[in-house]
Each structure stands twice: as C-alpha cells, then as structure tokens.
Amino acid sequence: MHLKSYVTAALYGLPALTSAAPSAASYSQPATPSPSTSGSDDHFREYTIKAENITAKVIPYGARLTSLLVPDRDGHDQDVVVGYDDPKYYLHDSETNRTFFGATVGRYANRIKNGTFSIDGHESHIPENENGGLDTLHGGFIGYDMRNWTVTAHSDSSVTFTLLDQGFQNFPGDVISHATFSVSTEKSAENPKGLPQLTTKLVSLALTEKTPIMLANHIYWNLNAFQNDNMLKDTTMQLPLSQRFIAADSIEIPTGDILDVDTAYEGALDFTQPKLIGKDIEKTTDLCGGGCTGYDTCWLIDRPAAYAAPNSVVPSVRLASDKTGISLDVATNQAALQVYTCNGQNGTIATKESQAKRNKATNGDSGATHVNKYGCVVIETEDWIDGINNPQWGRDDYQIFGPDDGPVVNFATYQFGTF
C-alpha cells in the first residue's frame, strides 16, 4: 500500500469541511447526475461512473453503491447489487428496515459488546442500538450509512465522498474519512485480463484523540440478478484463505473463541474449496444467532508465509452464479471478512423494477419480485470484529488510532468475469 499518497488524499478534503453537510452543488458534473434530484436533494444525487463493460451508480447519502451493471455469459448487462431504483428510498429504508443496502458503515463496523470499550484506561460508552441495548451495530443509531457525505472529487470513472465525524454517537475525537469508488478495465499485474473491476478505498484519519476506526462497505450482491428466488442452489462461494472463524453467541457477539472451519458445524463453514452457498446451510442452526440458520460470520484471512506484509492485498472471496455465468473475485488488504447470506430478509422488500424489466426482456420472466431469505450475500472486508473488546487477539494496532498515527486504509477490488 502506498501510504504517502493516501495521506495526501485524506488531507485534501479537510479544509473544505466543517460539518457533515450534503454534497455541494457547485462541483462540476462529468458524471451526470439523475435529472430527478437537485438543490436540497444533492445527497440523493446519483453519480454514474463507467468503464468498458462496467457501470456503477453511487450517491452521497451513506457513501453508497446503488447499482452495478456487468455483462452475463450472453453479453446482457445485469445489475448485481441489491438496492432501490429511487435514491430517495434509501432514506425511507433508514427509517424503517435499515438494511444498510450498499452503504459505507462506521465509525466502527459490525458489533461492539455493550456499546463499551476502553482505550488507555478510559472507558467510552456509545449508544446501543440492537438487541434491547446489549450491543452497538454499525456505529449506533445514526451511523455513517445515514450521513450526508460530501463529494470532494469525481471523474467519468471515479467518485470520492468525504465525511468529517466530529464525535458522532459519542465516539471519542474527530475523524475524517474518504470513500472512493472507481471502475476500470485496464490490464495490470493484479488484473492481467483487463476484467471489469470495481475498486473501493476507505481512508480515515484520527484527528484529535485515540479512537476505534473500522469502516466497511456493506454491499449486497446477487450474481444471478434475481433470476432465481434465492442464491442457495446456483451460486458457489470460495474463501481460499479462511480456515478459521470467530465464534459468536446467540446475539452474534464474539465469545473470544477462534474455531476451525473444518470441524465446527460439521464443516459447514469450510469454503476453502468452491461450494454451493446452500450445500451445508442446514447445518448452521444458531450460527447466525439464536434459532437462526445461515451465515452471518466473521472468517479470518490467514495469509500464506509468502505474503510478508499482514496487510498485503490477497484474493479472499470468489462467487460464481451458474444462472448468469457471472463470477466475482474479491481481493482485500483486510484481515477478516464478514459474510451474511441475507437470513433476515423475508420477501417484504421489492426488487428493483429496472432489474425486473431487464430480466423480462432477456428471459421472458421478471424473476424474483422481492428480496427473499438467502436471496443475496453481503461481503464486509474488515478487521476482526469487536477486536477492541478482545485484547487477547492483539488487534489494537489495527483498530485503535490517534492523531500521531497514519491513515486507516480499507482497500478492496471486485473483478467480474464470465464462465
């Protein structure tokens, strides 16, 4: 990772920001916004970024990916991201389901036990927003997913959002964060075939005090583009470097135990080789919480000895849909990833009308009309969840940062292919 360049990028937006304001309308617009939003609706303005065979849409509200088009095996564009066609509906979602569809979550992704942590003997308490006050999820009642980020840079193929967090939700100190989404098909050592690629960079700086920082992208994927009711029998997943996972209790708080994937739950968590997501899912009762069957689990990414740096970018996830022939390879510099198989979806949220029309035009069938249970999968690249409350893991250097520390960088690439 080129940390010097990230420091420059992180400082770039600082002078312009005094609060978590909506996107400024004065910026030029090479990425054309939706004509339906303007003025005070700038934070719901869609920015479209493109490269060959890949088109993405993002909005400032929650620094959020709302759509991603890539071709299937027959050359038809498919939207493989779960969400809404109307950007303003994400606000309604926040006020009702709060699914976190496509959002950047923080200041601290995932759960914090009892909403409490200590740094250098000083205890901090943040609002508990889940399980009747037993934990804090994704930053509290108003996390980064509900903030109006500012557009600080954009081009035809890239958008950067910036947020100045001045002690939001009682977290200590101030933090400035940048979320960059870019698309490309350029050939490189990491992408020798020039496949369509989305790159995400989450860069944060602690400005005033030591504080936990762990941002993550919360993108819901469906590679069969809702042509099937769920993903269990058509989508395979591989986690090639994940032989261990973090055990959790009945409300998904880490117990402190690290278990092996090949022995726990009769091997249901062993995805070191490609396996249908639904192959062993019936063996996972209570894995995703009390009475829950499915995956909502933090797998560790154990890099081989050949990778000298603990934050080296490594292939971490592969998904592939037999229905569309679309594959997705995720590489990241993070030490873990949370995979959630949409166990909590219950078919009450409609799929995008645009995708239904796309399915109807290509297949004569609109496909799934609603986001069903197991109808999507979330991949959060991040550090070990609730590491700030499990000092025996030794994760403080990767999760607690102060004004004397360098930037916190969550880097990931998403490469799409066909088979």
Q: Please give the full DSSP string across 72-122, using - where no structure is assigned.
A: -TTS-EEE-B-S-SSTTHHHHHHHTT---TTEEE-SB-SEEETTEEEETTE
Confidence at 226, pLDDT banded by 50, 70, 90? very high
The overall pTM is greater than 0.75: yes
Q: Is 2 marked active-site?
A: no
What domain range is 415 assigned to? 1-419
Q: Which residues pair with 205 in a beta bridge?
A: 176
Judged by average pLDDT, the poorest of 174-188, 295-309, 374-388 is 295-309
Q: What is the pLDDT of residue 16?
A: 38
Structure tokens at 128: 């508990």
Number of domains in the chain: 1
* Integer Cα distance of 318 and 195 in angstroms: 14
Count of Cβ atoms closer than 10 Å to residue 286 Cβ: 13
Give the largest CA-CA distance in the chain: 63
* Integer Cα distance of 290 and 277 in angstroms: 20
Mean per-residue pLDDT of the chain: 92
Q: Is 282 marked active-site?
A: no
Q: What is the pLDDT of residue 40?
A: 55
pLDDT above 80 (res 369): yes
* Integer Cα distance of 29 and 32 in angstroms: 6
Q: What is the pLDDT of residue 21?
A: 36
Q: Per the residue annotation, which of 130, 252, 380, 382 is the catalytic one?
A: 380
* Integer Cα distance of 310 and 318 in angstroms: 21
The residue-averaged pLDDT of 113-133 equals: 97
Q: Which residues pair with 315 in a beta bridge?
A: 331
Convert the pLDDT of each residue in 155-166 to its tens digit.
999 999 999 999
Q: Per the residue annotation, which of 218, 252, 353, 370 is the catalytic one?
A: 218
* Integer Cα distance of 271 and 304 in angstroms: 17
Convert the pLDDT of each residue in 27-84 to its tens digit.
233 344 443 334 458 999 999 999 999 999 999 999 999 999 999 999 999 999 999 9
Q: What is the pLDDT of residue 254?
A: 98
Q: Which CATH number characterizes residue 278's domain?
A: 2.70.98.10
* Integer Cα distance of 119 and 400 in angstroms: 8
* Integer Cα distance of 258 and 133 in angstroms: 25
Confidence at 306, pLDDT banded by 50, 70, 90? confident
* Integer Cα distance of 144 and 183 in angstroms: 23
